[in-house]
Structure formats: structure tokens, C-alpha cells
């Protein structure tokens, strides 16, 4: 800035803020910091609505209360919505000053996603975020990435590459390789249960060892790197998927140690059984695909948010099962009318018939023979359909909402990835 006084005044909706030139130069808001590079009033007026040279005052005809909350973010690093202001209106103010939805706190970011999905703004989000020239290059990147330098910056880049598959081109390539190893590992696990597997393994033992070692090596390296770059090591160890990773990887190394010691795992009795059970835990590596596929992410998020509805559904089923199984045992076996049905000798045995009837599976292995029992069976089927359908509406709406929310988040990463490729 080669004109005006050393003190600059920002007038936003009638509220005045005074800063020095040095503060303006390093200001976190992109639109404000660009004022320092302006050499003429014409360039200044491209960024603000008016300019008073005598007082060195820049006028912005924007929402004063919204800018006040944005200034709180500049000072404290926390950005939240203004109470009583529409989320989309505040989001528009954020875009004007050069901020993005990624700068919002997670709770407010969810509110914005919900609001945008309610009114169907999935396809309009790109136009909303596209500002102009240099501003658009700063969008879609969290503020931490610009604030970090040196070793911390590289650790953050590595963390996002391993934890967020859509964050960059390298992350997508790494995710694709990880998916290939998961699929190969699952094929090996399924093939190992075939009757002819032992014969084939003896004929090509070296190839099988190499494939298994490469897969385990990849998963070990991936898990180790993700642990080393994790922000919170304890939180990393508590995540279910990471626990499954460790449990699924450990049997291979335990077996190798035991083989070195001359103790084959197959002959260890209970220890061998435990190792085989842990080795079978590799099937849960399929859950790792949830990091790469929107559908699995939507399913997991829906189940997490609808746990109350799921508990309510289970309560409905168990209450109905207790009532109908007791009545079925009484009508088919307990009254001793000369036609006792041995399949209903106890209430737990009758409960199996109730659950397959309420879910309309009906294997046919157990069925009532008395008239009263068949009437009860019809009531059981009809009530099962009704009880199962009651919470489905809530779960369905939550699924649609979660899908739109994750779709919006994926669109943000896609825009960042497109910018990275173009650059």
C-alpha cells in the first residue's frame, strides 16, 4: 500500500476497526490482506465498496454482526454461526471475506451441510464458492495448512494423505493401492478355506508366502505411519478400525515367532485355535473400504446417528418375541391336549419360530400344527411387519441426510483436488 496513513480503518456495516499496515498485510482474511498490495484507489475499490483517502478508511457494505463473529475467529481460531442469522447468509459472508466452510467448527459445519442438503444446494456449491482470481485458489484448504510450517506442515500433509483419501491426488493413489491389497488379502483368506487349498499351498508354498508377506507388510507400514503422524495417539488407538488392524496383523507375526522357535501354531491346542480366530479377523479389513466409498460411509454415519431408533427397534422385537413365544409354547405344547408339538417344548425354542416369522423369513423347519397356533402365527407375521416398519421412516430420512452431507464434503475435496491437478 503506497498511499494513505499508517493506520487503516475498516468500516464494515457502520462498525469501525483500526489496524496498522503491518497487521493488514498479514491479516488472515484474504480480502483484507489484499488491500496491502493495492497501489491505486481503483485497485482498492475492486475490493471494497468505498474509500476515504483523508481518513484512510475502507468501507464494506456487509453484515456488521457477521463480521464481528469472523473477527472473533481471527483472534481465537474458532468460527461459529451468528445466532439468529441464516446459515446460508453467514456462509455468503464467509465466502466474501475469503473463508470456507472448512474453517467452521465441526458442529456448525454439520448445520451448514444439513441446511444445504435440505434445499438441494449440492450442485450450486461450486458456484457459491467460486469468487475471483486469487481468492478461489485459497478455498477448500483448512486454515491449519497455511499456518503450519516446516516439520509440522509435512506431518499434516502426510496425515491427510493417509487419513483423507479425497484430500489430494497422492491420497487417492494411496487409497487405490490400499483397496487392491485389501481385495487380494480377502481373496487369499477365502481361498484358504477351500478343501484343495492345502494341496495347492504345498505345491506353491513360496508364492503364497510372498503374497501374504507383501500384504501384511503393506498393512503394517500403513498402520505404523498413520500412528506416527496421528495428532492424538491415544485417540488413534481407541478407534475400532485401528484395533481391528492390530488384531488382524498380529497373528502373522506371532506365527512367525512361534515357527522360529520350532512351535507350529496348528499343534498348540487352545493357542492354535485363538490364532486361527484372530487370523479370521482379517475379514474386518473390508471395513477399511469405508474410507474410500461414499455408500459405506453413509451406512456407518446413519447407524451412528440412529442408534436410538435401532435400540427402539430391538426393544419392539424382543417384547413381541417374549409375548408370542410364551403364547406359542402354551398353545402348541403346554396345554397337553393330546397333540403336543415337540418343536415348541420350551419358550426359547418357540422364540426361534417367532423371530423368523416376524421377519417374514420362514425357513419352514418349525411351524404350528394346531388351529390356535396357526392363528397366533398369522398375528405374529402381521405384527412383525408393522413393528419393523415403524422406525424405518426415521432411519430412511437420516440415511438421505447423511448421504447429502457426505456428498457435500466429498465435493469440497474434489474441488481442492482439481485445483491441485491444474496447478
pLDDT by residue (tens digit) across 123-151? 334 344 343 333 333 433 443 434 445 67
Which residues of the chain fall below pLDDT 50? Answer: 122-148, 266, 421-422
Sign of the alpha-carbon torsion through 369, 371, 372, 373: positive
- Residue 102: predicted pLDDT: 78
- Residue 124: predicted pLDDT: 38
Distance between CA atoms of 329 and 351, rounded to whole angstroms? 9
- Residue 179: predicted pLDDT: 85
The 10s digit of each residue's pLDDT in 331-341 is 888 776 667 78
- Residue 127: predicted pLDDT: 43
- Residue 95: predicted pLDDT: 86
Please check whether residue 263 is in contact with residue 269, taking contact to mean a CB–CB distance below 8 angstroms.
Answer: no
Amino acid at each position: 500500500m503506497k498511499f494513505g496513513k499508517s493506520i487503516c480503518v475498516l468500516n464494515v456495516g457502520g462498525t469501525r476497526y483500526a489496524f496498522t499496515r503491518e497487521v493488514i498485510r498479514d491479516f488472515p482474511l484474504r480480502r483484507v490482506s489484499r488491500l496491502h498490495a493495492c497501489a491505486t484507489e481503483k485497485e482498492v475499490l475492486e475490493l471494497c465498496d468505498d474509500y476515504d483517502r483523508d481518513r484512510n478508511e475502507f468501507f464494506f457494505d456487509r453484515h456488521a454482526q457477521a463480521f464481528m463473529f469472523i473477527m472473533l475467529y481471527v483472534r481465537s481460531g474458532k468460527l461459529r454461526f451468528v445466532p439468529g442469522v441464516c446459515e446460508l447468509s453467514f456462509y455468503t459472508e464467509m465466502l466474501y471475506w475469503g473463508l470456507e466452510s472448512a474453517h467452521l467448527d465441526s458442529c456448525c459445519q454439520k448445520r451448514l451441510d444439513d441446511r444445504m442438503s435440505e434445499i438441494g444446494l449440492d450442485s450450486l456449491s461450486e458456484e457459491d464458492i467460486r469468487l475471483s482470481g486469487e481468492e478461489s485458489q485459497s478455498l477448500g484448504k483448512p486454515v491449519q495448512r497455511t499456518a503450519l510450517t516446516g516439520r509440522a506442515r509435512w506431518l499434516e500433509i502426510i496425515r491427510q494423505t493417509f487419513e483423507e483419501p479425497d484430500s489430494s491426488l497422492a491420497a487417492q493413489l494411496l487409497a487405490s493401492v490400499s483397496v487392491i491389497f485389501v481385495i487380494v488379502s480377502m481373496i487369499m483368506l477365502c481361498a484358504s478355506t477351500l478343501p484343495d487349498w492345502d494341496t495347492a499351498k504345498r505345491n506353491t508354498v513360496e508364492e503364497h508366502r510372498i503374497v501374504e508377506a507383501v500384504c501384511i507388510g503393506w498393512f503394517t507400514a500403513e498402520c505404523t505411519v498413520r500412528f506416527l503422524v496421528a495428532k492424538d495417539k491415544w485417540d488413534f488407538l481407541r478407534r475400532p478400525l485401528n484395533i481391528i488392524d492390530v488384531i488382524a496383523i498380529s497373528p502373522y507375526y506371532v506365527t512367525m515367532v512361534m515357527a522360529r522357535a520350532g512351535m507350529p501354531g496348528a499343534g498348540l491346542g487352545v493357542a492354535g485355535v485363538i490364532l486361527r480366530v484372530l487370523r479370521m479377523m482379517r475379514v474386518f479389513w473390508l471395513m477399511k473400504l469405508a474410507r474410500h466409498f461414499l455408500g459405506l460411509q453413509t451406512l456407518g454415519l446413519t447407524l451412528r446417528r440412529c442408534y436410538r431408533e435401532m435400540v427402539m427397534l430391538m426393544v419392539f422385537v424382543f417384547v413381541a418375541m417374549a409375548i408370542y413365544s410364551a403364547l406359542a409354547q402354551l398353545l402348541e405344547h403346554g396345554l397337553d391336549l393330546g397333540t403336543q408339538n415337540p418343536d415348541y417344548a420350551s419358550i426359547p425354542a418357540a422364540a426361534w419360530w417367532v423371530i423368523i416369522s416376524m421377519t417374514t423369513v420362514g425357513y419352514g423347519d418349525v411351524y404350528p400344527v394346531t388351529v390356535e397356533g396357526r392363528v397366533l402365527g398369522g398375528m405374529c407375521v402381521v405384527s412383525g411387519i408393522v413393528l419393523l416398519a415403524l422406525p424405518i421412516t426415521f432411519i430412511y430420512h437420516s440415511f438421505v441426510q447423511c448421504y447429502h452431507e457426505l456428498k457435500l464434503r466429498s465435493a469440497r475435496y474434489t474441488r481442492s483436488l482439481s485445483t491441485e491437478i491444474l496447478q
